[in-house]
Amino acid sequence: DTGVSQDPRHKITKRGQNVTFRCDPISEHNRLYWYRQTLGQGPEFLTYFQNEAQLEKSRLLSDRFSAERPKGSFSTLEIQRTEQGDSAMYLCASSPRTDTQYFGPGTRLTVL
Amino acid sequence: GQQLNQSPQSMFIQEGEDVSMNCTSSSIFNTWLWYKQDPGEGPVLLIALYKAGELTSNGRLTAQFGITRKDSFLNISASIPSDVGIYFCAGPVSGSARQLTFGSGTQLTVLP
């Protein structure tokens, strides 16, 4: 299966710690998206990469959040000084040059 | 903004029954996507619609792109227990990133 993969699937951390998540998109997809999803809600857009360029960031992406896609392949999302409000499912999606996005299984973050 | 109103919020049906859910917006969408999400997993793409009036099937699932481009419908025929989950409609927000905006989801429960 060559779908979108994410690592880790679950992360439990203490408030104030830094965490980093990884996303490996479908290999031929040049677009990569990060979303956040809280319980009972649909996913909300965080940021978008086209190849290695980060072209758009949501207002949801505070200064504590940073994302990279250094070689236009995998991407990382780092959260610094985590807060309890950061607890959510973090989803990565990729797409070819269309609007159809394919999601990974997500990383469930719990901040204690 | 481009918001999607999804209904019903939840449904309880008997196994074997047909299901219908819909999604509406005050804005025009050029693509409609339907996803299914199981607990603890990422959304899985079910059907993608690209043209007004388009009717597309995927097994027991059928979705339609409304003529006005402001709505879409998803039907599931002869429901089975594995149809349980949350169904989301989604569409790309106009702009460069084409990030998806999601409806609030329809929680489907199939009773034996």
pLDDT in tens, B53-82: 999 999 999 999 999 999 999 999 999 999
A99–B31 C-beta distance less than 8 A: yes
Residue numbers of B between 26 and 45 with CB closer than 8 Å to A: 30-31, 33, 35, 40-45
Structure tokens at A106: 């997500």
Residue B96 confidence (pLDDT) above 70: no
Q: How confident is the model at residue A66 (pLDDT cuts 50, 70, 90)?
A: very high
Which residues of chain A lie closer than 8 angstroms to B99, CB-CB?
A: 33, 45, 48, 56, 58
**A40, A44, A56 ranked by CB distance to B97: nearest:** A56
Structure tokens at A62: 């505070």
Which residues of chain B lie closer than 8 angstroms to A45, CB-CB?
A: 93, 97, 99-101
- d(C-alpha A52, C-alpha A35), whole Å: 18
Rounded mean pLDDT, B39-43: 95
Please report, for residues A73, B17, B78, the alpha-carbon distance to residue A79 in angstroms, rounded to integers and kept in the order given: 20, 45, 44
Which residues of chain B lie closer than 8 angstroms to A90, CB-CB?
A: none
B45–A100 C-beta distance less than 8 A: yes
Question: pLDDT value at position A97?
Answer: 75
Residue B64 CB neighbours (<10 A): 19
- Rounded to 5°, angle at Cα A14 from A10 and A16: 120
Looking at chain B, which residue has its C-alpha nearest residue A98? B98
Question: pLDDT value at position A1?
Answer: 55
Q: Does A99 touch chain B (CB under 8 A)?
A: yes
Single-letter code of the amino acid located at B98? R
Rounded mean pLDDT, A58-84: 94
Name the phi and psi angles at B81, rounded to 5.
Answer: -55, -35
- d(C-alpha B35, C-alpha A26), whole Å: 18
Q: How confident is the model at residue B95 (pLDDT cuts 50, 70, 90)?
A: confident
Share of chain A above pLDDT 70, in %: 99
Residue B105 C-beta-side C-alpha neighbours within 13 Å: 21
